[in-house]
Amino acid sequence: MKKLERKLLITRMEQKILTAVSENGKITELRLDNPEQESILGNIYIGKVKKIVKNIRAAFIEIMPECACYYSIEDNKAPVFTNKMNSRNLVAGDELLVQVSRESNKTKPPTVAGDLNFTGKYVVLTTGKCRIGVSGKLNPEEKKYFRELMTPYQNESYGFIVRTNAREAEKSEIISETEYLIRQYQDVIQKSKFRTCFSLLSRQVSAYISALRDTYADGLSRIITDDVIIYGQIEEYLSTHQLNDLDKLSLYEDPLLPMAKLYRLEHVLKDALKERVWLKSGAYLVIQPTEALTVIDVNTGKYEGRKRQQDTFLKINLEAAREIAYQLRLRNISGIIVVDFINMESVEYKDTLLMELDDHLRKDPLKTTLIGMTPLNLVEITRKNVRKPLREQMG
């Protein structure tokens, strides 16, 4: 198997900052951020409950005047109140710590959580769920080791999730980061005692720093930017938090060949916004987002295979499965996804298709789940919804 080589590329494009991940020369992730409009994702505020919606066990919490966010009462069992009304239940007027867990999406407001996350490269400190969790991508031996390593730091106020990147780190690095996250948590709790409603207690790092922190360490060989200001900010962050990655940082300075042209970023971005995606076989996908879900249709197109029809359909579907997993990640398509593959009669062929699709979905850094195939032969997938899809980032 070819050794994986990752590069993180950051450049400015059309007054936005484009962050891209390249794996063995292929762009697998794209993210556009407007530096003039800072994202609130990950920020921690003192919020105020505006309204309780009992029938859906939810509340709307303002994090600033006229900015009400969705809050699931069911999913947040241990809120940290800064000002509690005279009621055991969550009620209008309560003030509590909340963190923006999902950006606004079309007509949907941002989502906030009372369970706070403080994210590092190797470890995430979590409140609400005070246990030791370990990435499912780690093997049993690694899981056992990291649970034993982290247990002494667990208490009744917070727990930890060990990330996949931890397998690439020294014990001392993990411990150092854990202690830093604990200090972050303590700082937020201490500040909340003296701040007023709507105060911003913790601001998330910039988008490209977040990408740097969250990119899989396995195979990361280079961090490249052609912007002097961004280079300086990344250098400062790495010097403080990821010293081992500092030697991977470089400033691209070729005036004859812009960085975006060298890595074909404009071309990849343009293709990632098209509805139709052609496959090498001549078949194609049609990707259509709707308000509720994303529909993907697989078509035979120009395919001219001479084998038996069912074998032909299997070959196209397998190629489509690999491309769909790639497109979900590239376009940051999240939520509910329904795929209409070419119908196949054989149960064995259907199982082969689902196994291939599941294998490629598991490579996605975001939690992506293959639900299964319906009686109508439609394949259902869910992908964790955190940031806006790429097409909305263009707006």
pLDDT at 284: 94
pLDDT at 132: 94
Confidence of residue 288 (pLDDT cuts 50, 70, 90): very high
- Asked whether the beta carbons of 281 and 259 are under 8 A apart, the reply is no
Residue pLDDT, tens place only, 80-112: 999 999 888 899 999 999 999 988 877 789 999
Closest by CA to 169, choosing from 153, 149, 183, 186, is 149
Task: Report the distance separating Cα 101 and Cα 112, nearest Å.
Answer: 5
pLDDT (mean) for 207-211:
84
Residue 105 has what DSSP assignment? B
pLDDT at 306: 52
Task: Please give the backbone phi and psi of residue 386, each rounded to the nearest 5 degrees, phi first.
Answer: -125, -60
Q: Where are the beta strands (DSSP E) in 307-364?
A: 335-340
Task: Tell the residue number behind the tokens 């470089």, with chain if given.
Answer: 250
pLDDT at 2: 62
Task: Report the distance separating Cα 18 and Cα 315, nearest Å.
Answer: 35
Task: Tell the residue number behind the tokens 């780690």, with chain if given.
Answer: 138
Residue 69, number of CB atoms within 10 A of its CB? 24
Residue pLDDT, tens place only, 27-64: 999 999 888 778 889 999 999 999 999 998 999 999 99
Residue pLDDT, tens place only, 335-353: 999 999 999 989 999 999 9
Query: Could you tell me the domains of the chain?
Result: 6-37+207-266 (3.30.420.60), 44-113 (2.40.50.140), 117-202 (no CATH), 274-393 (no CATH)
pLDDT at 388: 85
b (16+ CB within 10 A) / e for 228-238? eebbebbeebb
Between residues 136 and 223, the one the model is more confident about: 223
| Residue 279, amino acid | L
Give the sign of the dihedral formed by CA 122, CA 124, CA 129, CA 130.
Answer: positive
pLDDT (mean) for 373-386:
92
Residue pLDDT, tens place only, 153-195: 989 999 999 999 898 889 999 999 999 999 999 999 999 999 9
- Over pLDDT 90: what percentage of the chain? 68
Task: Report the distance separating Cα 251 and Cα 229, nearest Å.
Answer: 10
Task: Report the distance separating Cα 334 and Cα 389, nearest Å.
Answer: 7
Helix residue spans in 3-153 (DSSP H): 140-150
Tokens found for residue 75? 């999913």
pTM of the full predicted structure?
0.85
